[in-house]
Structure 1
Amino acid sequence: MSLSLLDSGLYGPLFTTDAMRELFSDERHVRRMIEVEVALARAEARLGIIPQAAADEIEASASSLKPDFAKLTRGLQNDGVPTIALLAEWREHLSEDGKTYLHWGATTQDIVDSALVLGLREALGLLEGQLDAVMAGLATLADAHRGTLMPGRTHSQQALPITFGWKVAGWLAPLIRHQGRLAELRPRLLVLQFGGAAGTLAALGQDGLKVQEALAEELDLSPSGFPWHTQRDNLAELAGWLPLVTGSLAKMTQDIILMAQSEVSELNESAGGSRGGSSTMPQKSNPIQSELVIAAHRMNAALLGSMHQALIAEHERATHGWQLEWLSLPQMLGLTSGAVETSGRLARELKVDVARMAQNVADSRGLMLAEAYSFALTPHVGRSGAKKLVQAAVKKALTAGVTLSEALFSLPDLPGGVPHLTEGEYLGRTNEMIDAVLADLKSPG
């Protein structure tokens, strides 16, 4: 087992995806820093700040540059960032002009932070695609089971009848809101970092903001105006969004675990029952996929505190918050990608035992209709009278082992005109609510 479980070849695939892991690999990280440096040279040449020939040389050399990661590691251990060693190695392949104008007017944090933003843009695209797949799967489930009767449960006790489709729509609804939140935070997150040594752009004189705007254009990011070297709210906002997503998925998977219990048996994680086997108990089908989602969320929730600690960034360049972000944010993205991917698989493969749901409703002997009968009786005997009659009927049903209807209609003081009720008639506006959620999915926001 490796120090970071997400990097483990054995355990990593349980908790993250290959795509997210590759996105935050050392190679991609360094390549994005190189991309920022090249874009800076192009922007400055376009503005006439550095010679065009120097910019062309920097760009041409970037494509063939193969950084020595052993040197970068040593440089990172010495300097705390890989950029200085990367620039030193790069300059070995450049002319004097190229060496001079590489990294002109920038500081290390400009390059590392801007490279991070480029990675985050790709990561959000990946997560959005994964979320779309989960939501499509849940929408299909909600529509297909809008009439599948099952017990609704409050405080883990049977409460009122619901449909499974309505329950699934409740899993789907927050994901649609998270999609809207992502659209809102994106413009605040996808912002260039460029301020120079202390953030004032002093090295570039009167051209600092022009370079910032031109560099942002080259990278298709928004210019920051004011550098965010020690203003990390954009990253903390993203970090807050990630456990919102995994938390909603964990709520869904906690429901799946409870509904998959042997005594309930309304769901199974895979239609073939091929997942979640036991080494000694072949009758078991453990809800392993759901367990992984919940574990990922609990870890995300814990890591969120580290990202909030990183907001304490002193003066114009901080001492330790950056490193907290390095330790936390990529891991949170990896966990979220894994949780969303697993949830999408669950949405596609979930086995719904319609017959067992119906049997669980029948086994309740109509007790879930206690509220319905109370409201039906109120016009006849008033609210307090209705409550007394239903309480007496519930007590008789529990002690005599009969249905609530049988118990109620055997009471000598029951007034006439009270209808016989069924669970399928007491579903409120479930269909309209399902339709509303599905309509929101088609036109979010």
Structure 2
Amino acid sequence: MAGSVHDSLIYSKLFNAGEAGRLFTDSAEVRSMLIVEGALAKAQGQLGMIPEVSAAFIHRASLEIPLDPGGLAEGVGKNGVPVPSLVAGFRKAMEAPEHAQYVHWGATSQDIADTGQMLRLRQLLALCEDGLKELLAALATQASDHAELPMAGRTYGQFATPVSFGSHVAAWGWPLLDLLKELPALREGSLWVSLSGAAGTGAEFAGKGAELRAALAKGLGLGDPGRSWHADRGPVLRIAGWLARMAQVLGKMGDDLILMAQSSASEVKLSASGGSSTMPQKQNPVQPSALLALARQVMGLKAVMDGAGMPRQERDGAAWFTEWLVFPQLCLSASAALETARAMAPGLSPKAPEMRAVFTEALGLLHAEALSFRLAGQMPRPEAQAKVKELAQQVLATGRPLGELAAEALPDLDLSGLFTPEEQMGDAPANARAFAAAVAAI
């Protein structure tokens, strides 16, 4: 098996990260760092820190000169970071030593690497935003179309009270809508430029560090944090946390669908399902299973990221290396979860007959709570609960429906609508429609 499923010729379609995959390649990393070097030189030329003619030459070269990522490998193995080799290779490829001497003026490797990463994370969040909007639109359609379709609610894996399929879908969608609404603040509070020099003091910039950082931020379209964040991994951790929460919500959706699609329930049909190599009757919930697996992986990687979020002193190589090991995988797996859910959601088909059959097969026990509240109109609530519990035990003992036993035992009680699932869903239909309306309003 390949080291990463996202790079695997065998597994990449099962865990498809879509367009996000192109953001986490060696070529994309090199390109982003060259863009930062060019923008840095341009800002320094504007502020008179390096000759303007050299700044213009470096900026143009950063957009035109390609560097082979493989050429950086030996230097990274020695130095632990790619920037020294990148700078050396860039200077050589420029073939203009009078200008090349000003490349990377006063910056440190972490400035270039972190800022380059933020450029790619900006693109990643844009892809997530588009994917979330598409997924939410599909879920909103499902919620609206099936707002009135009753299904058995379950708590602790046991039958509870009636809900609707639409409200069940809305429960998946609401936290995704929350995540979408958080994106503007996440971008503002995390997509930051990094420019602080060797030990985070900016001493190399001759008193113009703050002005230069602001100019670089403007040139790249990133935020200016107003400080060094070399040893403050908050921006990266906030993005990782947002991605992990998204994967977690999608994992919950996948897990629910696995349960709904299992043979003993068969309450939903998936538009795409997998077959078995030996059992021809099987329709395996492949996409929901991928969602759950990806969520588990992302949450595990987030825990590793949190552990690396305590860098020692002004810079910590081990903590930084840990980010490199896990953060790209976290980003790609979260993206794969979103891509999987986006492809799956429009094709979900609830099986209404099977959902309705649950209420019959449960012998009316899903309406026990409703019966106890109706009965509480005639006697104290504790007595009503005790009476209904007694009737429920009789249902289990005799196999007779709760409605029949209630009619015999409580002849004076109005049971109209009590055992009709459509009339016992409470606010479920309204909640489903409210979710659909909220999505339409974005």
Report the AA paired with residue 219 of structure 1.
Answer: L
**2:411 pairs with 1:419:** no
How do 1:328-367 and structure 2 match up within 5 A? 328-367=326-365
Q: Distance in 1 between matches of 2:156 and 2:86?
A: 58
**CA shift for structure 1 position 443:** 4.0
Query: Partners in 2 of 1:386 and 1:204 — Cα distance?
Result: 78
Looking at structure 2, the residues matched to 384 and 87 of structure 1 have their Cα atoms a distance apart, in angstroms, of: 77
Q: What CA distance in whole angstroms lies between the structure 2 residues aligned with 1:66 and 1:405?
A: 76
Greater mean alpha carbon deviation, residues 246-255 or residues 15-24: 15-24
Q: Which moved more, 1:353-362 or 1:59-68?
A: 59-68
Q: Identify which of 275, 278, 285 aligns with 1:277.
A: 275
Task: Specify the alignment match of 2:253 in structure 1.
Answer: 252
Match of 1:146 in 2: 147
**Aligned partners of 1:57 and 1:94 also within 8 Å:** no
C-alpha contact (below 8 Å) 1:380/1:415 kept by paired residues: no
Change (3 A) 1:344 1:68: closer
What secondary structure, in the 3-state scheme, does the structure 2 residue paired with 1:381 have?
A: coil
The structural deviation recorded for 1:36 is: 0.4
Query: Match of 2:52?
Result: 52
> Is the contact made by 2:143 and 2:170 (CA closer than 8 Å) also made in structure 1?
yes
Question: What SS class does the counterpart of residue 63 from structure 1 fall into?
Answer: helix
52-61 vs 258-267, greater mean Cα deviation:
52-61
What SS class does the counterpart of residue 206 from structure 1 fall into? Answer: coil
**Number of the residue aligned with 1:403:** 401
Percent identical: 37
Deviation at 1:6, TM superposition (A): 2.0
Aligned mates of 1:18, 1:371 — CA distance in 2: 46
Q: Distance in 2 between matches of 1:396 and 1:199?
A: 74
CA distance in 1: counterparts of 2:17 and 2:386, whole angstroms = 57
Corresponding residue of 2:122: 121
Query: What SS does structure 2 have at the residue aligned with 1:13?
Result: coil
Instruction: Using the TM superposition, give the Cα deviation of residue 131 of structure 1 relative to its aligned residue in structure 2, in angstroms.
Output: 1.2
Report Cα offsets for 1:113-171 as digits up to 9, x if no partner: 10000010001101111111111111000000001111111111111111111111111
Task: Give the whole-Å Cα distance in 1 for the aligned partners of 2:405 and 2:236.
Answer: 60
Q: Which amino acid in the other structure matches residue 423 of structure 1?
A: P
Structure 1 residue 385: Cα displacement: 3.0
Matches of 2:414 and 2:404 in 1, distance apart?
13
Q: Hey, what does 1:204 align to over in structure 2?
A: 205
Question: Retained in 1: the 8 A contact 2:147–2:433?
Answer: no
List gaps (5 residues or longer) in structure 2. Answer: none
Classify 1:84/1:378 alpha carbon distance in 2 versus 1 (closer, same or farther; 3 Å): same
Corresponding residue for residue 162 of structure 2: 161
1:381 is matched by which residue type in structure 2?
A: M
Kindly indicate whether residue 84 of structure 2 is the aligned counterpart of residue 87 of structure 1: no
Contact 2:193–2:217 (CA under 8 A) maintained in structure 1 = yes
Q: CA RMSD in A?
A: 1.5
Matched to 1:378, the amino acid is A
Residue 25 of structure 1 aligns to which amino acid in structure 2? T
Q: CA separation of 1:190/1:301 partners in 2, compared to 1, >3 Å: closer, same or farther?
A: same
2:185 is aligned with 1:184 = yes
Q: CA deviation at 1:435?
A: 2.9
CA drift of 1:275 comes to: 2.1
Change (3 A) 1:430 1:138: same
> Would the alpha carbon gap of residues 208 and 417 (structure 1) be closer, same or farther in structure 2, given more than 3 Å must change?
closer
> 1:16–1:336: 8 Å Cα contact kept in structure 2?
no
Offset at 1:241? 1.4
Q: State the TM-score, normalized to the length of structure 2.
A: 0.96
CA–CA separation in structure 1 for the residues paired with 2:421 and 2:18:
46
Deviation at 1:41, TM superposition (A): 1.0
User: Post-superposition, which runs of at least 4 consecutive aligned residues in structure 1 deviate over 3 A?
Assistant: none
**Partner amino acid for 2:309?**
L
Aligned residues: 439
Alignment match, 1:175: 176
**CA distance in 2 between partners of 1:288 and 1:28 (Å):** 31
Q: For structure 1, which runs of at least 5 residues remain unmatched after alignment?
A: none
Q: Is the 8 A contact 1:75 1:82 kept in 2?
A: yes
- Separation in 1 of the partners of 2:193 and 2:404? 71
Residue identity matched to 1:395 = Q
